[in-house]
A and B are shown apart, each in its own frame.
Chain A
């Protein structure tokens, strides 16, 4: 690492202006609420499986603490220095992704090779891809956006990079995350001013491929069928959706009360991770759901308006990508829980149990807070 680079990452060079306090407050509320809902949703399963009701809670707190350290660091790095090392960040991300295919390091859980085990902790490298790819796209698209008429030079590299990572995630048998990463990437391409004719040709090319990939595994086909008509197979693939919808409608307006969800005692599968929102809806009712939706909406509003306000393209695209990365994921997860889109394995940020997701989400928010420093007083140019 060069000296200039090292100096760039030094804490003394940190921008001292305050971060967006709205954003910060939203984050704290979401994380706190998420933790209590997670405990309620997971204690039964934890007790049954591990004999320790707070098993998932304890692990989540450890990850949350780690993520906080990451987030604080992310608010204090120099973004210019960070920008310089973005191409270098791709390498460790790629290595971690490839490690999941290495026997003994990569572990297979329920047929998917998504996790790697390092120092006794499992980590899902595809979560890291989200962060790395958002950084990379913000960087490359802001550099190349003047040359979009030269496809070979400006369009091909980011498209290839995205396709490569999405293919890797797909190869881990993680269709949902692959699809989600692709969605984020496409929205970033879109806002960067990518000519629409490229979108058209890319869509035409990728639709048949995506269809084949979607239909190539039995469980995916069953999930799609269950989405179209869950009552057809109430004990099998449609079960998750019916159970989570039942939980939500049991919740009604006020909810059954904190900790008193009945459905989590077995009938909602993965109540502690991908379907935690169903427990929230059952215990806190529509009121609680609206509060959480409202928090995510405030988060999105602050993030997106920051993206529009920031004048430097890199920062603007980055703010957009980070906000979208959290917000779209939340919306997608909640849409799955109510059965508006087919069941996928996407966690709800800050709520679902899962170490890699919480750490990466917090680092993403940290970067966003960093971008928000004095944004209202921002008057063009990059502070040197």
Chain B
């Protein structure tokens, strides 16, 4: 076969190749020479010195930053001294592992199996300290020190542990710390974390671990061949960098008020400032006490909490979702006012039920509300009114669009790990998840916040904040300031940041707020929201779960209703889970929280000043 291209030769190329090669060869020789000086000449002098003494370095652990609430007076999280017992398996003489393990287990009052979990047989040869137990009391350490020759390879170090001053309060916000797992190490290996790092596992401790942790320092010293210190190191010690102190947006008093108002009911509370996105309180019940994780019984405490079916680790304000039920009618009201497809003053006649296709949908008042306009419909939470406008005047696409425009179905971007997006269903979503097409009944259910739609408490708070702010949502946040741990100087101040804007008319928001006010003055919440401290606007929600007498209780509200300085306004959302006995508690809790905030009282005084009240 003939060649595709004629062969060509050129002397230019050969010459240039040769020139380039000479250049490269010279570089190469230079490199060989450089390596010689580095490895032989430097190495020779270096080894001269190291024959008598070697330089060792040890870690000076950094002190983790403290966490404060917004008042910045006393910390919520501090470090307290404690001891940890370590083993370096390499230093345990061959064949003595079992005996040492047994003695150590007896001393620490743990099982041999637990030590084996930390030091499996495969790691006997590893030269690396492994922590056997943290939070060891001083008396145990003195016993260990007396008989240290019976424990080859075992040593202890003072290791500060985190103390959560308020116990289980704010547990879901603050989170907790723990030892790094192999999975976490894979991700963080190149970012200064080591196999013995302690890092935040949830909440603020996790989210801002890099700010809190600081950087370990190093102490250099010269040791002889037997490891005895013979002098200072040739290098200066590297002092550890202290972790930063964090100031949260949380108001400790409002947090405690909210926690006590919710009581021991499974559910969540969110209180935030709509004007800045600052979260003043965030409650999730049941809680856990992270202080247990630094005691000797931490394994037991952890497995007990993990096995609790009520999921105490779950932050229900952002990590669980439920149908918003009637509180979704606020979205419907805004949608209807903006779309203007049905006049707010036009009425729908509620007879207690309405038929769609072959299904009958009921109102919660079986004999019917009679004729209602939009404001009366929201105030009375009339299902028939919203079924009618939802299916006949808005349609599912409009409802879906407005739900999304008001922040439902997406993460808000709060600075806490693990936030979920909830669900705003759509025909495509239903086809993908259920394999069946969207039907009219789905629109009917969506109109009253039932069916497939699911929201978190934080999303409902954001939705109300957008109504309050004429469509602007500030990103909800927990961190207020980063402060220098020594001087207290503010290093970073978190500024309000617009997360989302709903382009809707000012009139729509104003009228929605008016409708929410009528819920309190003339509607369903009239009998529960009794506070005279401030004008409240809000909406109740009672979510069906498909189980008889098991209902979610929602209340979404803000106060003051109008006229106030916007900086003083707060949004309050309470969600009481259906697994509690039905008490219609959400609006009641909100009443206590709002009254407490605006009268500046704690829970006990608030309750006292609201009495006599039919539910207290």
Contact = CB atoms under 8 A, between A and B. Distances in A.
Interface residues of A, number: 62
B43 interface: yes
A286 B13 contact: no
Contacts of A300: 24
Contacts of A220: none
A192 B16 CA distance: 8
B44 A145 contact: no
A312 B9 contact: yes
A382 interface: yes
B8 A190 contact: no
Contacts of B195: 48
Given A49-B182, A252-B43, A338-B34, A191 B16 contact: yes
A47 B125 CA distance: 12
B2 interface: yes
Q: Which 7 A/B pairs are nearest by Cβ-Cβ distance?
A: A193-B12, A252-B43, A382-B3, A312-B7, A286-B39, A249-B43, A313-B8
Nearest to A245: B38
B17 A269 contact: no
B8 A235 contact: no
Contact of A83 (B2, B4, B12, B13): B4
B1 A80 contact: yes
B18 interface: yes
Given A192-B13, A235-B215, A304 B21 contact: yes
B189 interface: yes
A384 interface: yes
A210 interface: no
6 contacts: A49-B186, A50-B186, A83-B5, A249-B43, A252-B44, A265-B127
Contacts of A382: 3, 7
Contacts of B21: 304
Interface in B284-322: none
A381 interface: yes
Nearest to B128: A265
A251 B43 contact: yes
A89 interface: no
A289 interface: yes
A190 B16 contact: yes
A343 B451 CA distance: 57
A340 B43 contact: no
Contacts of A51: 182
A208 B20 CA distance: 25
Contacts of A297: 28
A80 B16 contact: no
Interface string B33-53: 011101110111011000000
A249 B42 contact: yes
Contacts of A327: 24
B15 to A, nearest CB: 9
B100 interface: no
Contacts of A80: 1, 3-4
A317 B32 contact: no
Given A307-B17, A340-B31, A249 B38 contact: yes
Nearest to A328: B24
A84 interface: yes
B35 A311 contact: no
A25 interface: no
Interface string A350-384: 00000000000000000000000000000011101
Contacts of B38: 245, 248-249, 338
Contacts of A8: 1
B142 interface: no
Give the residue among B5, B10, B17, B182 with the most A Cβ atoms within 10 A.
Answer: B17
A187 interface: yes
A250 interface: yes
Given A146-B8, A190-B20, A382-B3, 20 more contacts: A4-B1, A48-B195, A49-B182, A191-B13, A193-B13, A249-B46, A250-B46, A252-B47, A269-B190, A289-B35, A308-B17, A312-B8, A313-B9, A314-B5, A316-B13, A327-B24, A334-B31, A338-B35, A340-B31, A382-B7
A285 B35 CA distance: 10
Interface of A: 4, 8, 45, 47-51, 80, 83-84, 110, 142-143, 145-146, 187, 190-193, 235, 245, 248-253, 265-266, 269-270, 281, 285-286, 289-290, 293, 297, 300, 304, 307-308, 311-314, 316-317, 320, 327-328, 331, 334-335, 338, 340, 380-382, 384
Nearest to B186: A49
Interface residues of B, number: 44
B182 A313 contact: no
Contacts of A45: 189
A293 B13 CA distance: 27
A80 B10 CA distance: 20
Contact of A381 (B7, B40, B126, B189): B7
A281 B4 contact: no
B14 interface: yes
A187 B5 CA distance: 23
A34 B40 CA distance: 23
Nearest to A13: B1
B2 A384 contact: yes
Given A80-B3, A289-B39, A382-B3, A191 B17 contact: yes
A143 B4 CA distance: 11
Interface in B256-280: none
Nearest to A319: B17
A56 to B, nearest CB: 13
B365 interface: no
Contacts of B215: 235
Contacts of A313: 7-10, 13
A187 B16 CA distance: 10
B42 A331 contact: no
Contacts of A320: 17
A253 B39 contact: yes
Contact of B13 (A249, A317, A328): A317
A146 B36 CA distance: 45
Contact of A311 (B9, B17, B194): B9
B35 A145 contact: no
A30 to B, nearest CB: 16
B190 A286 contact: no
A49 B21 CA distance: 43
Given A49-B185, A190-B16, A286 B3 contact: no
Contact of A253 (B5, B24, B43): B43
A143 B35 contact: no
A253 B16 contact: no
A335 B7 contact: no
A251 B238 CA distance: 26
B27 interface: yes
A134 to B, nearest CB: 15
A50 B182 CA distance: 8
A316 B182 CA distance: 51
Contacts of B20: 187, 190-191
A381 B7 CA distance: 6
Nearest to A311: B9
Interface string B234-255: 0000100000000000000000
A241 to B, nearest CB: 12
B573 to A, nearest CB: 34
A343 B47 CA distance: 27
Interface in B578-598: none
B194 A290 contact: no
Give the residue among B1, B5, B38, B39 with the most A Cβ atoms within 10 A.
Answer: B39
Nearest to B8: A313
A253 B42 CA distance: 11
Contact of A145 (B2, B8, B18, B42): B8
A110 B190 contact: yes
A53 B534 CA distance: 67
A50 B185 CA distance: 10
A143 B190 contact: no
B124 to A, nearest CB: 13
Interface string B124-163: 0011000000000000000000000000000000000000
